[in-house]
Structure 1
Amino acid sequence: MQVSGLSGSTETAQSQVSVGMGLLAGSTVLILTLIWGSCVVVGKCDIQNSVAIDNKDTKGFSLTGSGVSTDIWTSYAARIMVISVIPFIIVQLPQLLNSNLGKDIAVLVSLIVSVALFLSYCLYQVFQPWIQRRRIAFAKHKHVISGILQHLKTRALGSLLKGDGEPNEEIIKKLFHAMDQDGDGSISASELRAMIVGIRFDEIQLDRDDAVDKVMKEFDTSCDSRIDLQEFLTGISKWIHEAKRSGDDSSNNDPHTMKFLFDFHSRTKQEHDLLGAGGQSDEIIEGVESPKWTTFKAGLMLLVGTLIAAAFADPLIDVVDNFSSATSIPTFFISFVALPLATSCEAVSAIMFASRKKIRTASLTFSQLYGSATMNNVLCLSVFLALVYFRGLEWDFSAEVLVILIVCIVMGVFSSFRTVFPLWTSSIAFLLYPFSVALIYVLDYVYGWS
């Protein structure tokens, strides 16, 4: 579309932008409404303790007791999608101000911003796995520390806190001497490992040798590969204060209850789960025997798909124009409604993936949907803005932009601050689709926006 739009006539370029904007708006709306809602329905599992249980679907179509859960990274993808609508706002500023001045500048600035967002999004995708591993490792370390505190609490002959809420050093010293099995006045790595092996870490996949190394590194400030009494006192006191800060205010009112340790342990487990730290599912790694061959095959398929799309872009636009002329159906509605339904490969792949009914696959499914909408908002928009700017075309898509803004912001904000989506949330997505089609019709053909 970019090549033919730059080399063809102005009329052809304007027609391509019109059809392209209709397809862009329709695709984004379809992804975040009908497909999003269908994924919730197909992927629903029983919700217990605010989490959807993998492969357990016994509550039928309960609006509140059934639904899907995602990890925290999926929420971040939704927030990125909301940010990606900024170029739409910029390009619409002259229309919002009822001014014909500065339209070309607005298009240029919007183009620059959209390209910058696209490059930033690509960099985020490159570095996101590294960031994710670092955060998961820290969350796992916090859970190990909380487990150690819980373990020490059960072994202590008294409270870990004094009446004033400060760490009870006498009790902590007794725990230190109990762990110092050979009585040499320090805790070795083997003695620390003996304690960690005996702690149950709530089904978290834990490399105990790695956990021992990290605890030793944090406590052993003298770097002699042993933890002496003062280092033990300092390390335990530090994490007791951290647990108190992380707990509820009500938990800190009575230090003798030590409820804040249980709250801290539960919170670290929840943080670990929200980060999607359970490891890859069998479905994801199944059949991946040769990563190099898989990467080559994926790149080849991407290239072939791009060539097919390029070959059929012009004929597709001609078909839309001819069909519109023959049926008197506005070109925009064909590109907004029919084309996204016919060309949306996300629908099939996303729904099939969601049907596996696991938190991991649900997270990947919804991340894919938000990512598709983000790419529409930055990459596809960049193509159309480039055509408009370099060919001197008219930017007259206020209705389409408004619909994209409404759907992206509503679904993006809604998905940014929650990781559990009961079945009733699908109704919001389903209702947004007819609302969007009706809004486009009213704005374009009743109020004459375009």
Structure 2
Amino acid sequence: MGMSVLAGSAVMSLTLIWPSVIVFGSYDLADDDDQTIEPQLPDEEPSFQTKLTAYGLTTDSETSYTARLLLVSMIPFLFLQFPNIINSASVTRVLILIALVISLSFFVANIVYQIFQPWIQNRWFDYLRQKYVKNKLLKLLSTNGKANVKLIKELYKELDNNHDGKVTNAELKTLLLGIQVQADGELSQGLVDRIVDQLDVTGDEFIQEDEFVRVLTKWLQDARKSLSKNDYNPLSFFTKPQANADEEQQEALIPKETTNDAQGSVWDYLEALALVLIGIVVAVLIARPLIITIATFATEAHIPQFFIPYFVIPCMISLPRLLSIIASANQKTQRAASLTLSQIYSGMFMSSMSSLSTFLVTVYIKDVPWDVSAQVLVVFVICVVMGIFTSTRTVFPLWTGFVGYLFYPISILMLYLLTAVWGW
């Protein structure tokens, strides 16, 4: 059951969530070469057939790197295919041990690498900044598509509580809370420090007015470049254009003083550890009843047992993530698309290595028979195909998203044939 959930989640990420990034994040690829800030209306709306090739998105080289990491993580899955070829109990046990060592090594190595080279976290900060500049500041600090320098200066004066011509971390935090730069309302000191580093051009640990105006104007210009009236929106029939923010909305940007303090890093770690322990306890308590219930339901409903853990459970798990991914893709920028796809691949790397390691530890220690060759093969095929595709290109036309959707029913058919027809 666990391997079926792993297979279903991995395949769903690459064949439903991955294509959604392309479909909902597509824009006119010609806009990449357009350095003007103001979007231009086309003379006539291009046909859907034209959009399939002329629209799409681009990614950066780091996205290709994460896709290659996913390809590397398929090595232990490859070793688990050999027991079907070599029908020997002793050889199978050795192969399981090799796959276990490799998966555990990859899992630990990735954690250590991210500690010393936290480029994924850095990319996440850049995306967070870009996302909220576009969603919040762009509407409130722009007039006719251009940065409202006067309003930016007024905002700076409001932030400078002691009127010494310098904005401190605490004063900047007031702004960040005011624009809700984090959904949960809490700000870590690390995030504030990162934003200060970008605003503090001179490196004196204070933000001068000219630095504030210059950097914020550049952020607004970068965000404005991502806007295009030629964006492809598959749900455009159901959406309405939003009106520009008025002066009252702009005045509302200047936040009131707040006394909320972020939790210390020690408490953050303790809270995270407590949540992990609670999750483990819940998983232990419901694992066996869940397996029995799924098997009984599948028998009574006359459907293959793999269908529920492969489709239903991953669907419930992935639905909130899919909605979040669509919202991120709607930013329609190379940075947003690159980071979103990177998160999909890096998240799959960690989840597949941790889940596979847990499964192999149980199988090896207890020396129990296992029959998940079909699930392992489906994961291997889909991940290799999609990993190679993403690692070898940085331009994704709109048609690639629709082709990606087709791989999901193909994966279900493949798993059905392997399990129900060919008896894997």
Do the two structures share a fold, i.e. TM-score over 0.5? yes
- Give 1:432's aligned residue: 407
Contact 2:97–2:364 under 8 Å retained in 1: yes
Pair 1:343 & 2:317 matched: yes
Normalising by structure 1, we get a TM-score of 0.56
Normalising by structure 2, we get a TM-score of 0.60
In structure 2, the CA distance between the partners of 1:50 and 1:298, relative to structure 1 (3 Å rule), is farther
Amino acid at match of 2:26: K
Give the deviation of 1:431 after TM superposition: 1.1
Give runs of aligned pairs for residues 275-290 of structure 1, distance below 5 A: none
Give the deviation of 1:80 after TM superposition: 0.2
Question: 2:304, 2:371 → 1: CA distance?
Answer: 16
Q: Which has the larger radius of gyration?
A: 1
Give the deviation of 1:82 after TM superposition: 0.5
Bigger relative CO (Cα 8 Å, ≥ 6 apart): 2
In structure 2, the CA distance between the partners of 1:131 and 1:293, relative to structure 1 (3 Å rule), is closer
Identical-residue share of aligned pairs (%): 39
Give runs of aligned pairs for residues 15-34 of structure 1, distance below 5 A: 19-34=1-16
Moved more, 74-83 or 364-373: 364-373
- Alignment match of 1:63 (pick from 34, 43, 52): 52
- Alignment match of 1:359 (pick from 309, 315, 334): 334
Pair 1:323 & 2:297 matched: yes
Give the deviation of 1:39 after TM superposition: 1.6
- Give 1:96's aligned residue: 85
CA offsets per residue over residues 363-382 of structure 1, 9 Å max, x none? 22111111122123211100
CA offsets per residue over residues 50-101 of structure 1, 9 Å max, x none? 6799997977751112112222111100000010010111122232334444
CA offsets per residue over residues 183-203 of structure 1, 9 Å max, x none? xxxxxxxxxxxxxxxxxxxxx
- Alignment match of 1:84 (pick from 50, 58, 73): 73
Give the deviation of 1:117 after TM superposition: 0.5
- Alignment match of 1:47 (pick from 29, 48, 57): 29
In structure 2, the CA distance between the partners of 1:420 and 1:296, relative to structure 1 (3 Å rule), is farther
- Give 1:392's aligned residue: 367
Question: Number of residues paired by the alignment?
Answer: 287
In structure 2, the CA distance between the partners of 1:127 and 1:346, relative to structure 1 (3 Å rule), is farther
Amino acid at match of 2:52: L
Structure 1 gap segments, 5+ residues each: 1-18, 134-204, 211-277, 282-286
Amino acid at match of 2:15: T
Structure 2 gap segments, 5+ residues each: 123-197, 204-221, 226-257
Amino acid at match of 1:331: Q
- Secondary structure of 2:52's aligned partner: coil
- Alignment match of 2:385 (pick from 407, 410, 414): 410
Give runs of aligned pairs for residues 145-224 of structure 1, distance below 5 A: none
Question: 2:280, 2:324 → 1: CA distance?
Answer: 19
Give the deviation of 1:209 after TM superposition: 8.4
Aligned CA-pair RMSD: 3.6
Amino acid at match of 1:321: A
Question: 1:39, 1:206 → 2: CA distance?
Answer: 30
Question: 1:116, 1:109 → 2: CA distance?
Answer: 11
Contact 2:25–2:330 under 8 Å retained in 1: yes
- Give 1:120's aligned residue: 109
In structure 2, the CA distance between the partners of 1:295 and 1:67, relative to structure 1 (3 Å rule), is farther
Give the deviation of 1:385 after TM superposition: 0.5
Question: 1:85, 1:333 → 2: CA distance?
Answer: 23
Amino acid at match of 2:297: F
In structure 2, the CA distance between the partners of 1:322 and 1:364, relative to structure 1 (3 Å rule), is same
Question: 2:91, 2:73 → 1: CA distance?
Answer: 22
Question: 1:376, 1:51 → 2: CA distance?
Answer: 37
CA offsets per residue over residues 215-243 of structure 1, 9 Å max, x none? xxxxxxxxxxxxxxxxxxxxxxxxxxxxx
In structure 2, the CA distance between the partners of 1:131 and 1:378, relative to structure 1 (3 Å rule), is closer
Give the deviation of 1:300 after TM superposition: 2.9
- Give 1:261's aligned residue: none
Contact 2:12–2:408 under 8 Å retained in 1: yes
Contact 1:70–1:359 under 8 Å retained in 2: yes
Question: 2:34, 2:412 → 1: CA distance?
Answer: 33
In structure 2, the CA distance between the partners of 1:319 and 1:358, relative to structure 1 (3 Å rule), is farther
Question: 1:409, 1:52 → 2: CA distance?
Answer: 35
- Secondary structure of 2:389's aligned partner: helix
